[in-house]
A and B are shown apart, each in its own frame.
Chain A
Amino acid sequence: MDIFVQQILNGLVLGSIYALIALGYTMVYGIMGLINFAHGEVVMFGAMVTISVISALMNAGINLPGPLLVLIGLMISIPACMLLGFVIERVAYRPLRNAPRLAPLITAIGLSIVLQQVAILIWGRNYIPFPPILSHDTITILGASITKLQVIIIVLCLVIMAGLLVMVERTKLGRAMRATSQNPSVAGLMGVSVNKVISATFVIGSGLGAIAGVMVATNYDQAHYYMGFLIGLKAFTAAVLGGIGNLGGAVAGGILLGIIESLGAGYIGTLTGGFLGSNYQDIFAFMVLIMVLIFRPSGLLGEKMADRA
């Protein structure tokens, strides 16, 4: 039972991070109908930039409390990632908006490789440890332990996601986004500046990605130039699981996927009689993805669609 609660808690932490990244995928998909393959790299840059800023401050002899340092790091990495997202859309997607579907996919993959290599140029190929500035005090819930940091991650994710939902439902920009996602050309006729809305979508998604990247780095205590690939893929799975294009779905899908993954990793050994171990954790996301696309391609909360093109 303890293991069960523990894995649920781990899953919640992982899942809320997935959800935050999944929002970036689902927003772009909802508006433009394409998968932003380079989003994982934005997440990676968020983590890397934050670590660099914190290290630079610490090397300069500025002694601030840990959380404040992280906050300063975020203040720099969020705008940096927003700029990155803006540039990605301008360079890789906007010129190809009317091209056959394969073209933006290829540029996105190419851009993702470029961003990874740029990260190697700046930060090298090794794992970069997160500076030990945050406390890892744990609290115990129902016999399972969770760090205070992880509690903060979960709460912060929920707050940000609620804020995003309010933004999309209540503000003028949110209305413009919803209009564009329904029909870009009609939205344009109604006075919505479609290009600006698309740019805004990328910028917001990338900002969320930056925050998620820092969360990943603090949770695993390290960052790496290749970390964006797997986490991006899993977040995309979460978006599909929830119903792509649907914000609430991305949140639900993210948390569900996180829990499935950690329960799977926790129990796969016992289920297969020790044949498969927790080193198979990463296949769960792919299995879930394939299952969802076969049995319920519209996802948990998505609208019914004839097929996925």
Chain B
Amino acid sequence: MTMVNNKKLGLFAVSAIAVVVLPFLVGGALGNSWVRILDFALLYVMLALGLNMVVGFAGLLDLGFIAFYAVGAYSYALLSSPHFGLHLPFYITIPIGAVLAAFFGILLGTPVLRLKGDYLAIVTLGFGEIIRIFINNLNAPINITNGPQGVNLIDPIQVGGFSFGKSFELFGQTFSNVYLYYYFFLVLTVGVVIMAWRLQHSRIGRAWVALREDDIAAAAMGINIRNIKLLAFALGALSGGVAGGLFSAFQGFVSPESFSLIESIMILAMIVLGGMGNIAGVVLGAVMLTIAPEILRSTIGPLQMAVFGKTIVDPENARMLLFGLAMVVMMLVRPEGAWPSKRRRMEFQDAKKGVSHG
């Protein structure tokens, strides 16, 4: 028993150290742009974990998740940028964005309480598009979102007098601000992981699983289906909202383009390919799907130049093509994802043998 615990503790310590020193290794070897990609990977981990609460735990298929990210991002952008001349600090704007996103989560959740499966997917997709269309068009007659141009010059995160917007000096060396954001995001990501973990193993998490497996049986067991569904939407949206606010601060610029349907699909794909319902799998999926396209982006072009002497397939095109193919092939070959939870793996094995699940 102690042996196992020691082993686990050792593994934990090693991975913790690895995560802490990772940006310096990556930054030293590949440059700051790759640290920036790591920052985005952490943002996507937060988003994917948020969506995982809705899709993975509660089994409610949501294709409009990016809307909550957008709500969080625009709340931060409008409250701390020259657009309205407001410059509220992040510890006010990020919670406002998160609460607003959760409110929108409930707003979406209430009318669709009776829907399941494909229908829920389509309605949430429609909801996501409605939000995007509004953001895109709310620049007239009153300019609220600045329309397709987006909001820029958004304030960076500021702690005391220290701004995350500039590079900083440490031990005589100058480091880019991407390192600061890495640790800031890391702390919050760990927070979201802990929240997801605690929820999964709580009364609420078990109620979500019951809801996912069989809602009628769950209701018969005394679970309040309505509240538990709304809670899933709200908590998922909350994580999305936090990630959105961070995105705004980090990027310094938001526009409706960042919140299109393909982003929702991307986050769903992270969950599905990583292993739905399993926190470690979802983290793996998010990291893989953020980093793999960047590796492709930087290799496809030069590779084609080397082999054919010219660019035949535009890298962005090839990247999306491979992404689509990966989704199809993964579903056909390993529908439970790369790192599924034990329960889900068994379900899929049963499905292959033809055992019915209701």
Residues of chain A having any CB pair with chain B under 8 Å = 34-35, 91-92, 95-96, 98-107, 109-114, 116-118, 120-121, 229, 233, 236-237, 240, 274-277, 279-280, 282-283, 285-287, 289-290, 293-294, 297, 307-309
Interface contact A120-B332, CB-CB below 8 Å:
no
Given A92-B328, A100-B348, does the pair A274, B111 have CB atoms closer than 8 Å?
A: no
Interface contact A121-B313, CB-CB below 8 Å:
yes
Interface contact B122-A236, CB-CB below 8 Å:
yes
Given A105-B121, A280-B137, A290-B126, does the pair A113, B335 have CB atoms closer than 8 Å?
A: no
Residues of A within 8 A of B272 (CB): 102, 106
Q: Does B190 contact A (CB under 8 A)?
A: no
Interface contact A98-B111, CB-CB below 8 Å:
no
- Can you name 15 extra interface pairs (CB under 8 A) apart from A99-B331, A106-B331, A308-B119? A96-B331, A102-B61, A107-B328, A117-B321, A117-B324, A237-B126, A274-B141, A282-B129, A286-B130, A290-B126, A290-B127, A293-B115, A294-B114, A297-B119, A307-B116
Contact residues of A: prevailing secondary structure: helix
Q: Does B16 contact A (CB under 8 A)?
A: no
Question: Interface extent on B, as a size class?
Answer: 35 or more
Chain B, 324-358, CB within 8 A of any chain A CB: 324-328, 331-332, 335, 347-348, 351, 354, 357
Residues of A within 8 A of B129 (CB): 233, 282-283, 286
Interface contact A99-B354, CB-CB below 8 Å:
no
Q: Does B291 contact A (CB under 8 A)?
A: no
Total cross-chain contacts (CB, 8 A): 138
Residues of A within 8 A of B112 (CB): 290, 293-294
Q: Does B232 contact A (CB under 8 A)?
A: no
Residues of B within 8 A of A109 (CB): 265, 268, 327
> How far does the alpha carbon of A277 sit from the alpha carbon of B139 in the complex, in Å?
11
> How far does the alpha carbon of A236 sit from the alpha carbon of B121 in the complex, in Å?
12
Q: Does B161 contact A (CB under 8 A)?
A: no
Q: Which residue of A lies closest to B116 (CB)?
A: A309
Q: Does B125 contact A (CB under 8 A)?
A: yes
Interface contact B126-A286, CB-CB below 8 Å:
yes
Q: A294's contact among B111, B261, B269, B314, by CB below 8 Å, is which?
A: B111
Q: Does B172 contact A (CB under 8 A)?
A: no
